[in-house]
Structures are given as structure tokens and as C-alpha cells.
Amino acid sequence: MFSRRLLLAQLFLLSGWVLTGCQPTEPTSIGRLIVGVVSYDTGSRSLDKYERFKDYLAQQTNSIVEIEPAYNELNALEKIQRQVWSVVFAPPGLAAIAIAQKQYIPLFPMQGVSNLRSVIAVREDSPIKTIAHLGGKVIALGEPGSAAGYYLPLYYLYGLTLAEVRFAPTPKTVLEWISSGTVDAGALSQDEFNSLQTEFSQTKFRIAHTSRGIPTGVVLLAPNLEPKQQERIKTAMSQAASHIAGDAGYIPNAKAPNYEEFIKLVEKLYNTSFKLIGFIPHIRGIFHRRLIEKFPGFWRFSKIFKNLTRRVERNKLWDKLLGGQPAF
């Protein structure tokens, strides 16, 4: 009797093990993923296109996925610095900093113009024809983190003394300031210029300067995720249906662009831009106030910058910091 009961018990346990082993196992949850995007001032409309991607990534990774917008590059840069974002749809300037400074991993190229360019825009009736004509003028730049609006324009301004520099939170604001006469010229991407200028029926613009091509934006993966998590996200995104990847704006079957040379340029400007601003009248006070708001304690460095501006000739500083003439 005992052996019979023991045999039945063993058979019961064995059958349970077999049935359990045959059933598919649920993937282990990787928790919460935050996908960062730069949406400027388009609000919730720009986030709608990520809905199918969000649902797909959540299902494939068995996680909670959130889409978090940053309305300019400066806000996005803060998220990158703190590695808040697990996945980032990054424009070129932001991507270069994220890769070089925070070791974000490039996965896929973004859709859109493959050869992005930065432009300096002016009103059609402006006397400004070239970069050289910007001396003594008021110019609008984008936020730090923007390749077309900030880094490349700084590079163009080699050897010039500007009357004033204003920071525009969005590319549209750049054109608004040019239209109203608040600034004489402004920097933004050529693609943004082409799409936004049609919104200003009362003002005609033209381009005074165009840069060489820069890399397209890229999808980035945070380095603070576990390797298995990274691989699961990468696999899911690479296998996404074309309509899902198309909505989100990336190319899953293409190699990420080579950022090596562009990173060298951006790193030079990123690491030295605090010094460069000391040579543009009126910019120093504005920039210092904004830095104090973002980074308490920055005021301690004010005297260093003031002394630097008195001691060093501007052109020599550019040569020292950027290694010669502009390349873009």
C-alpha cells in the first residue's frame, strides 16, 4: 500500500513538472523604461506618434514604458546628465554629448534628412550677406545641446565681436525674433528653417550662411541598464514592424551614423563654451544667471571668466581652444 501511494505521488509530481515545463514562461519584467524625446513647443501632438511604439516596446520587454518630452535641448541635456532616460531619440548635438560624456550607446539612425545642415537666417531685406557681416550685430542661438542652433554657430563666429547673443528656447522662436527685429540673425537647422518659414506670412527670410553636413540624429540606449535589458530593448526595436518604427521616426535595419569627428568638435565647444561667452558683450550676464539657476555655486567661477576676458585676445583663444580655423 505504501509503495503504491508513493508511486502515485511520484507520478503526480512528474506529470506536474512536465506540464509546467511545456508551458511558455513569461519574460522577466525589466521594470520601468523612460523614452526621452525633444518635442520643442508642439506639445502632446508630437507624442501621439510614439503611442504604437510605446505599446509595442512595453509588450516586448514586459515593462512599463513612458514617453517623456523635453521642450528644448537644455532640458534634455539635464535628463541625459542624470541618465534618467533609458532610450533617447536624440538630435545630433544631444547625441554627441550623450555618447561622449555619458556613454550612451547608439543603436539606430533617425529618419529625416541624412545630411543635416545648420543655417544663419536673416530677413530678406537685411544687409547681412555673409558671416563677416554679423560683427556688431545681435544674434539668436539655440539652447546648449543643439548642434544646428548652438555648437556649429559658435564655431562660425570665429574672430567676430557680437553686440549681443540671445538664447531661443525653440527654432520657431528664432524666426519670431528675426521677424520682429529683436535680433538681426538667428541659427537653426536648414530643415527647420524650410518647414517653419511658411508660418510667417508677413515676413520673408533668406539664408546668409549654410554649414557643411552633420550626422543625422540617433536612437540611444542608456549605459546604466543591465546588459540583458539592453539586448532585449535592442532586439525589440530592431524587429519592430515598419509602421511602428516609422511612427517613432527611426530606421531599424540601418547602422547608426559615425559620430567620431562630430563628437570631437562638440566636445571642444561643450568644454570651452563658458570661456567663449566671455568675449561676447551682454551674453555673459545672461548666461551666468541661467547657470546659477541650473547649477548652484557656479557664481564662484565668475571672477575667473572676467579675468580671462581681460588677459586673452579673442582670436588667440579660438586658436587655442578649437585648433585653428572652422571646419564646418
Q: What is the mean pLDDT of residues 134-142?
A: 93
Q: What is the mean pLDDT of residues 109-130?
A: 90
Q: Which helix (H) or strand (E) holds 188?
A: strand 185-189
Rounded to whole angstroms, how far apart are CA atoms 90 and 95? 5
Check residue 248 and give its pLDDT.
94
Top-confidence range, 1-10, 167-176, 265-274, 293-302: 167-176
Top-confidence range, 111-120, 136-145, 240-249: 240-249
Q: Give percent of the chain with pLDDT exceeding 70.
A: 70
> Please, what is the angle between helix 227-238 and helix 51-61, to 10°?
130
Mean pLDDT (the chain) is 78
The three-state secondary structure class of 56 is helix
Q: Is 199 in contact with 83 (CB distance < 8 Å)?
A: no
Residue 310 has pLDDT above 70, yes or no: no
- Phi, psi of 150, deg, nearest 5: -130, -60
More confident residue, 13 or 89: 89
Residue 318 has pLDDT above 80, yes or no: no
Q: Give percent of the chain with pLDDT exceeding 90.
A: 51
Residue 71 has pLDDT above 70, yes or no: yes
pLDDT tier, 194 (very low <50, low <70, confident <90, very high otherwise): very high
Q: Is 117 in contact with 153 (CB distance < 8 Å)?
A: no
More confident residue, 243 or 115: 243
Closest to 250 measured CA to CA, from 225, 274, 221, 228: 221
Q: Count CB-CB contacts under 10 A for residue 4.
A: 8
Check residue 302 and give its pLDDT.
37
Q: Is 222 in contact with 83 (CB distance < 8 Å)?
A: yes
DSSP annotation string for 83-125: T--SEEEE-HHHHHHHHHHH-PEEEEEBSS-SSB-EEEEEETT
Check residue 254 and give its pLDDT.
92
Scan for cell 567620431, then name that residue.
Answer: 260
CA dist list (Å): 118 to 148, 193, 256? 4, 9, 21
Rounded to whole angstroms, how far apart are CA atoms 291 and 277? 12
Check residue 39 and give its pLDDT.
83
Q: What is the mean pLDDT of residues 63-85?
A: 91
Q: What is the pLDDT of residues 238-267, one digit of tens each?
A: 999 999 999 999 999 999 999 998 888 887
Check residue 46 and give its pLDDT.
67
Q: Is 120 in contact with 131 (CB distance < 8 Å)?
A: yes
Rounded to whole angstroms, how far apart are CA atoms 175 and 181? 10
> Please, what is the angle between helix 302-311 and helix 283-294, to 10°?
150
Q: What is the pLDDT of residues 29-61, one digit of tens each?
A: 458 999 999 887 655 556 888 999 999 999 999
Q: What is the mean pLDDT of residues 149-176?
A: 89
Check residue 239 and give its pLDDT.
96
Closest to 326 measured CA to CA, from 122, 74, 153: 153
Q: Is 154 in contact with 275 (CB distance < 8 Å)?
A: no
Check residue 300 and give its pLDDT.
36
Q: What is the mean pLDDT of residues 198-215?
A: 93
pLDDT tier, 272 (very low <50, low <70, confident <90, very high otherwise): low
β-partners of residue 119 are 188, 210
Residue 138 has pLDDT above 60, yes or no: yes
